[in-house]
Amino acid sequence: MEENIQAVSGLIDTLVEFSVQYGFQLLGALVVLLVGLKVASFAGRKVTGLCETKNIDVTLSRFIGNVVKIVLVVMVVIVTLGNFGISIAPFIALAGASAFGATLAIQGPLSNYGAGLSIILARPFVVGNTINVQGVSGVVHEITLAQTVLVGEDGEKISIPNKEVVGQVIVNSREKRVVQTKIQIGADQDVQKVADLIRDALAGVPGLEGDPAPLVGIHDFAYGGVVIGVRFWVLSDKYFATRYAVNNAIFDSLAKAGIALRAPDGTALALDSLSADDDTPGYREPIA
């Protein structure tokens, strides 16, 4: 029992001696670490905000802010280790060796990071742009080092690895997308009248105002008829809704004017002659 008491007493003396000798040093290092991390986060946010006030792209602003934050965090860790009397030279050597081995093991993610850095610096598109890449289209919601996130018209998020973006053909239509429609009419129809009817129909659809204005004209010629081309620009998040509204407006306008559309076999179908009892292929009852 006496031996146990002496052992416990010796342990307590050792802890007290350690606390007296290193306690304030340990406490100071923890305070420096916590304060340094807070300062790093604050500095990162301030740099990001400053860049945004200078009209720098949001993605690039966030990237610069994160770089500043990471640099400050690394400096704080180095200072904290130095307060403990720990040399960072072995850690640097270990990090270099680990990075070499990790490079081979995670080539896929690293290639995404490299591609993400290229996108952020080169800025072929920015947040808010509408892009079409690899057969996928949407509004750019977020650009990170690993992936680019698009948002579709229905609100779905589409995540594309950055290595699948860099080196590909990217169609950037900014905040709008173009809609191209072709309407075939018979050669006996008044082309100018049809074009005017289509323009009037477009004027009644909200969301087509502004620049560029819709275009209507002869797109091509077909056997026994003419192909009328219609081009207009719509907001990306209302692409299909506006496109369907325009199609309905054009269809109803031509139907009321008795304009005949060419059927696949080359014959003309008069829209005003179609009724709900008609079995003609392609019949569509006008929407009220």
What residues form DSSP beta bridges with 143? 148
* Numbered ranges of CATH 3.30.70.100 in the chain: 176-273
CATH architecture observed for domain 127-172: Roll (2.30)
Looking at residue 83, what is its pLDDT?
Answer: 64
Q: 160 — phi, psi (to 5°)?
A: -120, 120
Region 79-98: mean pLDDT is 64
- For the purposes of burial, counting CB atoms within 10 Å of the CB of 259, is it exposed (0-12), middle (13-18) or buried (19 or more)? buried
Q: Is the pLDDT at 281 greater than 70, yes or no?
A: no
| Rounded CA Rg of the chain | 34
- 138-189 pLDDT, tens digit per residue, is 889 988 888 899 988 778 899 999 988 988 888 888 888 888 889 888 888 8
Long-range contacts of 186-193 (CB under 8 A, 24+ apart): 186/224, 186/225, 186/226, 186/260, 186/262, 186/268, 187/224, 187/225, 187/226, 188/268, 189/226, 189/259, 189/260, 191/218, 191/226, 191/228, 193/257, 193/259
Q: Is the pLDDT at 128 greater than 80, yes or no?
A: yes
* Numbered ranges of CATH 1.10.287.1260 in the chain: 2-105
- Please give the residue that has the higher pLDDT: either 214 or 176: 214
Looking at residue 103, what is its pLDDT?
Answer: 53
- How far apart (Å, rounded) are the C-alpha atoms in residues 214 and 206? 12
- Tokens for 16? 């007290």
- Please give the residue that has the higher pLDDT: either 111 or 248: 248
- Tokens for 37? 């991390």
Q: 157 — phi, psi (to 5°)?
A: -95, 130
Residue type, 168: Q
* Numbered ranges of CATH 2.30.30.60 in the chain: 127-172
Looking at residue 273, what is its pLDDT?
Answer: 47
What does the mean pLDDT of the chain come to?
A: 77
Q: Is the pLDDT at 276 greater than 50, yes or no?
A: no
- Reduce the DSSP state of residue 1 to 3 states and report it: coil
- How far apart (Å, rounded) are the C-alpha atoms in residues 142 and 127? 6
CB atoms within 10 A of CB 228: 22
Q: Which of 49-58, 236-245, 271-280 has the largest mean confidence?
A: 236-245
**What Cα–Cα distance (Å) separates residue 142 from each residue in 24, 117, 137, 162?**
45, 13, 14, 12
Topology of domain 176-273 in CATH is Alpha-Beta Plaits (3.30.70)
- How far apart (Å, rounded) are the C-alpha atoms in residues 257 and 231? 22
- 27-65 pLDDT, tens digit per residue, is 777 777 788 888 888 888 888 888 878 777 677 777 788
Q: Is the pLDDT at 198 greater than 90, yes or no?
A: yes
Quickly state the pLDDT bin for 201 (edges 50, 70, 90). very high
Q: Is the pLDDT at 94 greater than 70, yes or no?
A: no
pTM, two decimal places? 0.53
Question: Which DSSP helix (H) or strand (E) runs through 112?
Answer: helix 107-122
Looking at residue 259, what is its pLDDT?
Answer: 86
Topology of domain 2-105 in CATH is Helix Hairpins (1.10.287)
